[in-house]
Structure 1
Amino acid sequence: MEGPARPADPTASARAARRARPVRPCRPDRTAPGERPRGRSLAVVGAAVVSATLAAGCAAPEGATEPLRSEVAYQPVSLDEAPALDGVLAANDALGAAMLSSSDATNAVASPFGAYVALSMLAEGARGDTAAAFDAALGAAGADRTASVSALREALLAYDGDPTLAAADQLPAAPLLHLADRVVLDDELDVEPDFLAALARGYDAGVDTTDLGVAAAKAVLDEWVNRETGGLVRSSAITPHPDLRVVLQDAIVLAARWRVPFEPSDTAPAAFATGTDMVDVDTLHGTAEADWTAHDVDGWTSVRLPYVEGFVADLVLPPAGTDPADVSLDVLGGLRTGAEATDLAQGRPIGVAVPVLDLEPGPLDLLLALDAVGLGELSRLSDLPDLGGITTTENLVLAQAAQQARLTLDEGGTVAAAVTELAADSTAAQVQPADAFVVTFDRPFLLRVADAETGLTLFLAAVRDPSAG
């Protein structure tokens, strides 16, 4: 939601000066700020592609689209009504861990929930053994999974607003968490009505049809990504071609201020050990008496920094010599639930030194991560998946799966955005108090951004070299 105008932000000038990759947000006709449209037309996908797209500009796309409307209305679910929340939250963590470990980027950034929602949408069209594989990988089956995902989305959408606010020099006064989903179907795909109904009812997803076999379809995908991320992601990672039938697109954007901001005057260069080298990086320094907490979770040192409301960030230092992407599900579960966590500060003030981050590692190929969580069959031509719930006239196989993510962290707070795409083809230095508990993040570490109420992991980053971007 869009908050009231806030006073001048003392961190804004530092943020503006540091931004090296300007974005060009589109401002198309939209619902009034803070108001979320209901009952939108659903975009249908012949094979599901979830696309993380960065659009280069705001010109109208060359390819024409036609909205496809379902008679079924969106049916929001509350958290109290979610029948399989624990399974979904645990599977979301497992997917995030697989995404981090499969990335070959110096700094890996992932939105497990963005990928989870896209996969859950695709699962609505799975049948037989393929549906069973989805149930196992996503921690819940059928209608229980759909309802639980809907409940998590509905809780997060209490903070919905215009994603272009995330690209501004000043962070919004209240946290912003924007979610959007769409299915794009090839205009010759014979789609099953029940698939469209499931996407409408459980995900409030838009459905459009276009010719996915021509180059102009790329502009159609790009425009949606640019609009729904406020320009933070600029173009789609999906390549249209004659066999492409379905594209599933999911976008998530977060912009939130720290409850206790860092003073820009305390930001200074400091050494960071990458594992192979020492680099100097701009580093935030701060101390908090009560708002920050520090815990040991299975040997990993975690400092939790809350945002002004609704969300938290966990800065997590692994044991020396351990790569942050090697985080175990026990550690992620402990961060989410607080189980087996040992208080390290014992009532003392907590001091933190953490690098300024501006991470944009490039597209992450999700096929390796999907294989790691038991969904490798989606892309195997030798043993075709059963996506007969999407269409019964063609065999579909997952041919492209990508996520693009960007994350910045500075004195004022955090901005993060991710677009997930699944594409299916047809087959024919501050002075610290003396008694402070100080954690210095001067070697590779894990960053986790989560919903405070449910513990849902929204973003994960394995930071190995902050100077690499």
Structure 2
Amino acid sequence: MKRSTVFAVSLAVIILAGCGQTQGSTDPGSLQPSKNAEFEEDDYLEIVDASNLMGMNLLSEISGKGEGDNPFISPVSLYMALSMLYNGAEGDTKDEIAEVLGVKGIEAGNLNQANASLMSILASDTEKIELRIGNSIWLNDSYQFQEQFTASNRDYFNAEIEEIDISDKASAVEINEWVQDATNNKIKKMAEEPLDSNIVAILLNAVYFKGDWQYKFEAGTTKESTFMGEGDKKSTVQMMRLEERIPYLETDSFQAVSLPYGDGEMDMKLFLPRSSSSLKEFRDALNTENWKRWNGEFSSRQGKVLMPKFEMEYEIILNDAMKELGMPSSFNENADFPHIVEGDSELAVTSIAQKTYLDINEEGTEAAAATSISVVDSGDAEPPFTMKIERPFFLAITDVESGAILFMGEIKDLQ
């Protein structure tokens, strides 16, 4: 059997105990929440496994459904964006979001504290590792946020609160400039021009990571090689080389290696299924129990890693996946978000989207993610339509200004 060289990539964070409680920060992208945020340093333990599991479930759900063949997501980015949205939810909608987040029955205040704790413990800005997480919420200036919604997201998520004129094309530009700044220009666009006139608010999270390998791949040894993808699809790649004593694990199903960044605060774990196995079999076995067990079974071993050097982008609309994972009512007439804006608006989510970026080279790794959640006033909005042109139809090409019909016709047969 030909060896199919497909592998799983995980950017992992080693959570270090003993981080002190934050004194707060107002810097955009800072991992230190406001000094008004009250939380314990280990509150993150309430959500870290849940965030990881949500990511595993999401990866299983979307595999093969996004643009391109390489689904690459940020569980932390999506988790924080949904947590901000949770502050505005009630009833079944709130319960469903909690189910997806893996924290059924949790109060919004406790979820906020856990996220603030996680942001604080992730704080890492050293000479060799840079990690930034930014949150922002953009409000249609025809509406007014409820004070509690604003305060919770500002204090616990360090979210920037901005009012925008939905009808102004510059508003989409402003949102995209925020995304560019938050991701070091790796993700350039999350808002389309013009913005949907029914939008009430857009919730954004952005994550940017840059880390230098603790053990760099050997300069001058990168060589052209073949990457054998699924279905024996061959690609020519630049293959990097590293010989070092590093954490290693092998089972009957896969080989795995841990490549540390900086002084070991973070790492990349690579899982290569055996030629007799597949990524699907690995994905089916991926859960928090196995993840913890595998992490505990790595041991230091001398060896050689040959790894492709590559750069990629990925994007996906997550509406269908989030419905399948358990929160359908957020998107329909049963949506219950009474705690976001003042008044009796009937709010619903119209889009949850994520874009990611990944660059792996001899020096290290650069990665970025942006997640957007668009909330509209469903009471004012007409339901979306579908028009599938699968039978005879009429068409006309016209000049808009004069109204003159340049061409017209009936299309009856496309054989």
TM-score, with structure 1 as normaliser? 0.67
Query: 1:149 — aligned with what?
Result: 115
Selected match of 2:237 from 265, 281, 293: 281
* Secondary structure in 1 matching 2:286: helix
Deviations 1:364-395 (A, max 9, x none): 11112212321232222xx3310111134211
Distance 1:347 1:120, change over 3 A: closer
Q: Is the 8 A contact 2:213 2:259 kept in 1?
A: yes
1:271 aligns with 2:226: yes
Identity in percent: 21
1:78 deviates by 4.4
Give the aligned residue type for 1:351.
K
Shift of 1:41: 9.3
Who is 1:390 aligned against?
340
User: Residues 313 and 340 (structure 1 numbering): CA distance in 2 closer, same or farther, change over 3 Å?
Assistant: closer
Alpha-carbon distance between aligned partners in 2 of 1:97 and 1:238, rounded to the nearest angstrom: 28
Q: Identify the match of residue 369 of structure 1 among 315, 318, 321.
A: 321
Q: Does 1:214 align with 2:168?
A: yes
Give 1:191 deviation, angstroms.
2.0
1:408 to 355, 359, 376: 359
Runs of at least 5 residues in structure 2 that lack an aligned partner in the other structure: 1-22, 381-415
- The match for 2:25 is 38
* Unmatched runs of 5 consecutive residues or more in structure 1: 1-35, 43-71, 161-171, 429-469
Does the 8 A contact of 1:97 with 1:328 survive in 2? Answer: yes
Distance 1:416 1:329, change over 3 A: same
Larger relative strand fraction: 2
**1:274 Cα deviation after fit:** 1.4
| 8 Å Cα contact 2:80/2:205 also seen in 1 | yes
Partner Cα distance (1:322, 1:397) in 2: 42
Q: Measured at CA, do residues 149 and 99 of structure 1 come closer, stay the same or move farther in structure 2, by a change above 3 Å?
A: farther
Paired with 2:203 and 2:244, the residues of 1 have a C-alpha distance of 43
Q: Against the structure 1 CA distance between its residues 255 and 41, is the aligned structure 2 distance closer, same or farther, given a 3 Å change threshold?
A: closer
- Which residue identity is paired with 2:197? P
Q: For residue 196 of structure 2, give the secondary structure of its aligned residue in structure 1.
A: coil
CA distance in 2, matches of 1:386, 1:247: 17
Per-residue CA deviation, residues 217-266 of structure 1 (Å, 9 max, x unaligned), is 11111111111112111122445121111001111000001111101211
RMSD of aligned C-alpha atoms? 2.8
- Measured after TM superposition, the shift of residue 201 of structure 1 is 2.7
Q: What corresponds to 1:28 in structure 2?
A: none
Q: What residue is the counterpart of 2:185 in the other structure?
A: 231
Does the alignment pair 1:360 with 2:310?
no
Whole-angstrom CA distance in 2 between matches of 1:74 and 1:320: 53
Question: What is the alpha-carbon distance in structure 2 between the residues aligned to residue 248 and residue 90 of structure 1?
Answer: 22
Aligned equivalent of 1:436: none
Q: Which amino acid aligns with 1:202?
A: Y
Residues 1:103 and 1:287: Cα distance change in structure 2 (over 3 Å): same
* Equivalent residues of 2:241, 2:307 under 8 A apart: yes
In the superposition, relative to structure 1, how do residues 40 and 315 fare at CA in structure 2: closer, same or farther (>3 Å)? closer
1-structure distance, mates of 2:270, 2:156: 33
Among 94, 97, 112, the alignment partner of 1:134 is 97
Larger radius of gyration: 2
**Selected match of 2:283 from 302, 310, 328:** 328
Match of 1:107 among 70, 79, 88: 70
1:47-126 equivalent positions in 2, closer than 5 A: 74-75=36-37, 77-82=39-44, 84-85=46-47, 86-100=49-63, 102-126=65-89
Preserved CA contact (<8 Å) 1:41 1:206: yes
* Residue aligning to 2:271: 316
**Residues of 2 paired with 1:250 and 1:325: CA distance?**
29
Contact between 2:247 and 2:300, CA under 8 Å: does it hold in 1?
A: no
Closer, same or farther: CA 176–41 of 1 in aligned 2, 3 Å: closer
What pairs with 1:200-211 in structure 2 (closer than 5 Å)?
200-211=154-165
Paired letter, 1:113: V
Q: CA deviation at 1:129?
A: 0.4
Deviation by residue 1:134-161 (Cα, 9 ceiling, x = unmatched): 111101222332222111111112x14x
Q: Distance in 1 between matches of 2:184 and 2:67?
A: 27
Quote how far apart the aligned CAs of 1:93 are.
3.6
Residue type matched to 2:371 in 1? Answer: T
TM-score of the pair, normalised by structure 2 = 0.76
Report how far residue 417 of structure 1 moved.
0.6
**CA positional deviation for 1:306:** 0.9
Give 1:405 shift: 0.8
CA contact (8 A) 1:213 1:242 kept: yes
Q: Write out per-residue CA displacement over residues 156-205 of structure 1, whole angstroms, 9 at most, x where no aligned residue.
A: 12x14xxxxxxxxxxx8320001110000000113221111211232111
Q: Confirm or deny: 8 A CA contact 2:139 2:161 kept in the other structure.
A: yes
